[in-house]
Amino acid sequence: MLPREPARSPQLGYLYIPPYRVQGISIAGEQSVVQVPELDVAFDIGACPKPILTANYVALTHGHMDHAAALSYYFSQRNFQGIGVGTIVCHPELEQPIHNVMKAWTGLEAQKTPYNVIALPPGEQLEIKNNIYLRAVESVHTVPSLAYVVLEKRSKLRPDLVGQPQEKLVELKNSGEQITQTLEIPLVCYTGDTMWGELFDRPDVLGAKILITECTFLEPGHRGRASVGKHLHLDDIVKLLEKSTAEAVVLTHLSRRTHLGMVRKALEAAVPPEQLDRVFVLMDQRTNRRRFDQQLADAEAEAEAKADS
């Protein structure tokens, strides 16, 4: 008998939720890293597969190894590949520990890797692209932790001025009056590891177009384990689906022990059928592949129809 081949390392999960790609790997206790390339950000950096290097920002939710293990590698590879210095955004309590980690690597490698760390207190935000902001939101886990919301700020004419002639608006503006107001559009929320809490009452979390949330425990008997580890259980996701207006709710941080067939069964049993369409499991490669193939076929058919008309 020949020895068995080594187990394959997990592939990146991939979902296209127009106009955003959600890609990464997330397995509870092992590794979590989820990138939205269009927004220039990756959430967590528990591993650093090559595509992640293109993210100029990494929003770190907390310091557990499965979320933070590859932070030094991210900085070092970006430097090695000549991509430019990466930036990690983190809870203020993690800023010094990250400096300590990078300092330890300077000792190990006998060279310094350039890096940026930005501590973002809960409630504060940072502009990561033109008009696109990363906001830190308090979450509840066993260690200091943050969730993040990426939002777009759009300047819009004040509603009471809509329909006014252009000259009037110019006149008002020149007189120093504020004629616009800023709208905040939550695009993506990433909860990181968290238990149920005030986080899930916030309009920016509930209103995000894409809500990427952990769902560590699924089985009815695992409620207790979820609360000890300060994690979410599928029962929480059911509550969340009622409150959130997200077009897509992407589940991450499932345990490797839970077989994907079992995940689908548990979802079908717990989630009302009309809600199931907007629930995705990042690591359910087969279902997501099938969906993407359909998206490709639809796009092709649409292009053909256009060419014919």
Please report, as ranges, the residues that interact with Zn ion according to CB under 5 A. Answer: 64, 66, 193
Q: How far is the CB of 296 from Zn ion (least distance, A)?
A: 33
The residue among 85 and 228 lying less far from Zn ion, judged by its C-beta, is 228
Helix H or strand E encompassing 195: none
Q: E-strand spans in the chain?
A: 13-17, 20-27, 31-36, 41-43, 57-59, 87-90, 116-119, 125-129, 132-138, 146-157, 180-190, 210-214, 248-252, 279-281
Report in angstroms how near the CB of residue 292 gets to Zn ion at its nearest. 26
Through-space distance between the first and last CA atoms of the chain, rounded to whole angstroms: 61
The two structure tokens encoding residue 198: 């005030």
How many whole angstroms from its chain centre is CA 181?
28
Q: Which is nearer to Zn ion, 193 or 284 (CB)?
A: 193
How distant, in Å, are the alpha carbons of 74, 85, 93 from that of 278?
Answer: 32, 36, 35
CB nearer to Zn ion: pick between 29 and 92: 29
Find the length of the chain: 309
Q: Based on CB atoms, which residue is closest to Zn ion, 78 or 231?
A: 231
User: How near is the Cβ of 227 to Zn ion at its closest, in Å?
Assistant: 14
**Residue 286: which residues within 8 A CB-CB, separation 6 or more?**
260
CA distance 28 to 257: 10
CA angle 133/251/238 to nearest 5° reads: 105
132 versus 254: smaller Cβ distance to Zn ion: 254
- Smallest distance from Zn ion to CB 103, Å: 24
- Are 215 and 283 a contacting pair, CB within 8 Å? no
> How far apart are CB 31 and Zn ion at their closest, in Å?
9
- Decide if 160 contacts 103 (C-beta within 8 A): no
Residue (34 or 241) nearer to Zn ion, CB:
34
How near is the Cβ of 257 to Zn ion at its closest, in Å?
A: 14
Query: Rounded to the nearest whole angstrom, what is the least distance from the CB of residue 189 to Zn ion in the complex?
Result: 17
Which tokens sit at 286? 């087969």
Report the residue number, 69 or 246, with the smaller CB distance to Zn ion.
69
Q: Which is nearer to Zn ion, 87 or 191 (CB)?
A: 191
Q: 298 CB contacts (<8 Å, ≥6 apart)?
A: none
Cβ-based neighbour number of residue 309 at 10 Å: 5
CB of 46 to Zn ion, least distance (A): 8
Q: Is 30 exposed, middle or buried (0-12, 13-18, 19+ CB in 10 A)?
A: middle
